[in-house]
Amino acid sequence: MPATPRGFRTAFAALVLLLSASGCATRKPAAAGPASPEFGRIERLDSRLDALVPPGAKLEKVADGLDWAEGPVWDSKNGSLLFSDVPRNVILRWKPGSGLTEFIRPSGYTGAAAFTGREPGSNGLAFDREGRLVACQHGDRRVARLGSDGRFTEIAERYDGKRFNSPNDLAIRSNGDVYFTDPPYGLPRLFDDPGKELPFQGVYRVTPAGAVTLLTKELSMPNGIAFSPDENTLYVSNSDPKNAIWVAFPVGADGALGPGRQFAEARAWVSETSGLPDGLKVDRQGNVFSAGPGGVHVFAPDGTRLGRILTGTRTGNLNWGDDGSVLYIAANHWILRLPTATKGNGF
């Protein structure tokens, strides 16, 4: 936990601080300074990790001064990384040689009234098949697309007439369907918020035509989400300290999900270090890289834990960038990067 956290209101608020570090003091983004040559370390549990993260690979810190970094995505058109600073309601851009600049504000709450919660901003980000930025917006409780005019357009805001909790992370299928998770971490009082309209935390799909489908509500706290390279499996992390697991769902020809199975778990690490299963991505070979206790956990397609990228702080999400072989990690106040011997799915 940070040295000077804000006070906790409820036990659930304490949980969300584990997930989002949104109780940290507000800081102004700082331009990238000299990279740290040996930041964090790599924990190798299986020799197969060497083919993904080569021996000698070092973590570098490229940006600092953030409140809680989330949702990194590589903007290939501009050769830069976009990511959310959730408590500050802003999407920032980091570009090699230029450091940090503000990309768009507000990013997740666009209302006129003051937001009373801790996490108003965007969280997960992704580019759709037409190259448009799609964001999970906590404060506006929707999934929205950023237009060329700099304004967000709603993609999905309700299920069965009820407002979502606060869409958290997303994965876009090659046919344009957007799959997303909907825990209540953006609501001021979280699970007990009086504005919470849905009695569960779902995983949803919205088609390009705008049809919204509830895919599953079996997870208590669904969070990170990503497809396998063949799109036949959907991975979802469950950020519940009592059931800290990753679940693999088979994806049917119609896009619906079959019964989930436990892909991996992190229960043993929850009591030893900070963090919970969070944002995740998959490489070209189907290996799963996911934020979790201690940093980033790396799994083979069969669920074997190959190792961990230990960041030394709570870690929210990650994504590949540059030519697809550089892993960018959103870790609390920082953006880190790590050269890999693999490439992210989609590169």
Strand extents, DSSP E, 188-302: 202-206, 212-216, 222-227, 233-240, 243-250, 261-265, 280-282, 288-292, 295-299
Residues 6+ apart with CB under 8 A from 14: 8
Q: What pLDDT is recorded for position 325? A: 98
Amino acid at 251: V
Q: What pLDDT is recorded for position 40? A: 87
Alpha carbon 179 to its chain's center: 13
Whether the Cβ atoms of residue 340 and residue 326 lie closer than 8 Å to each other: yes
Token pair of 32 as six digits: 């990238």
Rounded CA separation 164/186 (Å): 11
Q: What pLDDT is recorded for position 7? A: 35
Rounded CA separation 179/163 (Å): 17
Amino acid at 315: T
Residues 6+ apart with CB under 8 A from 336: 39, 40, 59, 60, 61, 62, 311, 328, 329
Q: What pLDDT is recorded for position 54? A: 97
Q: What is the largest CA-CA distance in the chain?
A: 54
What SS3 class is residue 49? helix
CATH architecture of the domain formed by 40-339 = 6 Propeller (2.120)
How many other β-carbons are positioned within 10 Å of the β-carbon of residue 7?
6
Nearest Cα residue to 224 out of 255, 190, 258, 181? 181
Rounded CA separation 82/73 (Å): 5
Amino acid at 9: R
Q: pLDDT (tens digit, 0 to 9) for every residue of the chain, 347 residues total?
A: 333 333 333 333 344 334 433 333 333 444 444 444 346 899 999 999 999 999 999 999 999 999 999 999 999 999 999 999 999 999 999 999 999 999 999 999 999 999 999 999 999 999 999 999 999 999 999 999 999 999 999 999 999 999 999 999 999 999 999 999 999 999 999 999 999 999 999 999 999 999 999 999 999 999 999 999 999 999 999 999 999 999 999 999 999 999 999 999 999 889 888 899 999 999 999 999 999 999 999 999 999 999 999 999 999 999 999 999 999 999 999 999 999 999 999 99
Amino acid at 93: R
Under the phi-then-psi rule, with left for phi > 0, alpha for psi from -120 to 50, and beta for the rest, what region is 164?
beta
User: Residue ranges per domain, the chain?
Assistant: 40-339
DSSP string, 143-210: EEEE-TTS-EEEEE-EETTEE-S----EEE-TTS-EEEEE-STTSTTGGG-TT---SS-EEEEE-TT-
Residues 6+ apart with CB under 8 A from 329: 59, 72, 291, 295, 296, 309, 311, 315, 317, 318, 335, 336, 337, 338
Nearest Cα residue to 83 out of 296, 347, 319? 319
Whether the Cβ atoms of residue 193 and residue 183 lie closer than 8 Å to each other: no
What is the DSSP pairing of strand 280-282 with strand 295-299?
A: unpaired
Q: What pLDDT is recorded for position 273? A: 85
